[in-house]
Structure 1
Amino acid sequence: MRKLGLIGGLSWVSTRAYFERINRYVRKHHDPRALAPMVIESLDFTGIPWPESNDDWGKVTTMLTESANRLSDAGAEMIVIGANVLHKVYRDVEAEVDRPFLHIAECVGEKMKEDGVHTAALVGVRSVMTESFYRRRLVAHDIDLLPPRMSDVDALERIITQELMMGKATRDAERTLKSMFTDFERDGAKAVVMANTELEQVVDVDANILPVYDCTAIHAEAAARWIIGDQ
């Protein structure tokens, strides 16, 4: 098996999700006794009041670049960034690290294209939903994304950053997401792209009005396939 470098997410919930999903896949598809070879670095972003300014994102880029290089020095042969929003600076980080990276939105776009899904709604934190760095990767795979409604953006930002990243899942959040997904279907979406790791706490991806593409699950599975040499 090949050795993966994982830069942890913005919360311990995200990092745990990646570690668990990767190891479950490796045990199921490689060896039930196996433990995926990984080096993990958990970063503390609390000192950065981002995403308030480009200066803040510059600090994030530096943190991620230094982290990826440390993982490379520790023997990682490929790097995964365990957070959707951090892919905003993906290109800048990738350019400074002598290791390949696995982009989360590319993995999701390829999966949706294989499934023949061409119209979807994107949910996540504000920058993921409203900026181009994530959306353009999906559009490049012939996926038409519904325009974000600012009421949804505000609600999701609050739920994710003030509740779920603290490990607090509420019934109100579950109801908000279900109502949102119902509106997406009425607006013509054929699927929902769940571009936030923490949302799995309040979204049942297997029992929803629309198919849900869990970006974390898809990304982690792609990483696990790489580890065991299936891609």
Structure 2
Amino acid sequence: MKTLGMIGGTSWHSTIEYYKLINELVGGVIGGDQNPPLILHSINIQLMREQNHEKIKKAYLEISKKLETAGAEAIIICANTPHLVYEFVQPQIGIPILHIAEAIGRAAEKRGLKTLGLLGNRPTMTGDFIPYYLKKHYDIDTIIPEEKYLDKSHYYVSKELTLGKFTDEAKVFYLEQMENLNHRGADGIIMGCTELPLLIKEEDSKFPLIATTQLHAQLAADFILG
């Protein structure tokens, strides 16, 4: 098995989910009495809340280099938003970062989805790190909620979901946003916050959901197993 470096902490709730899923997925192949070699670095989520992109990029580069030196053969960033560092960090290290949009693209392509609605916090929805990758590598278009809904989505992610709080109000809000995105042309929905699949399950929605955590963990398991 290959050794995987994990950068978590944004939030620790989703990091636990990543760690659990990767172990379960690998164990499902090699046997539950074994587990994969993982190196975890958990950052303080406050780094992301400051929204200083230059500081965030430098921190993730430093951590990535440490993981590479420690023996990691690839890196997985256990959240959506920190992938904003990908274009900065990847050229400066010698091992691959398993991009979350690669997992999204593979799943969408398999299901024949060509336009995806993107839900998450404001930086994830308004950033180009997921839409750019999907368009470049899979010719998939991405749309986001209308401007008037972005702050509310950001609030639910940053003040509730990443703190392990899952409310009926948040669930209703996101189900309504899925309806709106579908009416505007989305044939599938990216759950662009790693805690969103903990709030809304596939059976809760009438639209195809791209649950990034599960798919990203599968990408990691596939890498570990070669």
Instruction: Verify same fold: TM over 0.5.
Output: yes
SS class of match (2:46): coil
Aligned residues: 225
1:68 aligns with 2:64: yes
Confirm or deny: 8 A CA contact 1:205 1:211 kept in the other structure: yes
Q: Distance in 1 between matches of 2:61 and 2:203?
A: 36
1:187 aligns with 2:184: yes
Matching of residues 43-58 of structure 1 within 5 Å: 43-46=43-46, 49-51=49-51, 56-58=52-54
Residues 46, 145 of structure 1: CA spacing in aligned structure 2 closer, same or farther, 3 A cutoff?
Answer: closer
1:163 aligns with 2:176: no
Residues 46, 221 of structure 1: CA spacing in aligned structure 2 closer, same or farther, 3 A cutoff?
Answer: same
Q: Distance in 2 between matches of 1:6 and 1:112?
A: 24
Q: Distance in 2 between matches of 1:200 and 1:9?
A: 17
Structure 1 residues 52-99: Cα deviation after superposition (integer angstroms, max 9, x where no partner):
xxxx21111121111111111221111111121111111111122221
Q: Distance in 1 between matches of 2:9 and 2:133?
A: 20
Letter matched to residue 15 of structure 1: T
Among candidates 183, 198, 203, match of residue 201 of structure 1: 198
Q: What residue number does 1:224 align with?
A: 221
Structure 1 residues 124-175: Cα deviation after superposition (integer angstroms, max 9, x where no partner):
1112211222211112212122353113312210000011111111111111
Q: Distance in 2 between matches of 1:200 and 1:80?
A: 18
Question: Larger helix proportion, structure 1 or 2?
Answer: 2
Q: Which runs of 5+ in 2 are unaligned?
A: none
SS class of match (1:213): strand
Q: What residue number does 1:212 align with?
A: 209
Q: TM-score, normalised by structure 1?
A: 0.91
Among candidates 78, 83, 86, match of residue 79 of structure 2: 83
Q: How much is the aligned-residue C-alpha RMSD, in angstroms?
A: 1.6
Q: Which runs of 5+ in 1 are unaligned?
A: none
Letter matched to residue 174 of structure 2: L
Q: Distance in 2 between matches of 1:147 and 1:156?
A: 11
Query: Identity of counterpart residues, as a percentage?
Result: 32
Q: Distance in 2 between matches of 1:119 and 1:211?
A: 11
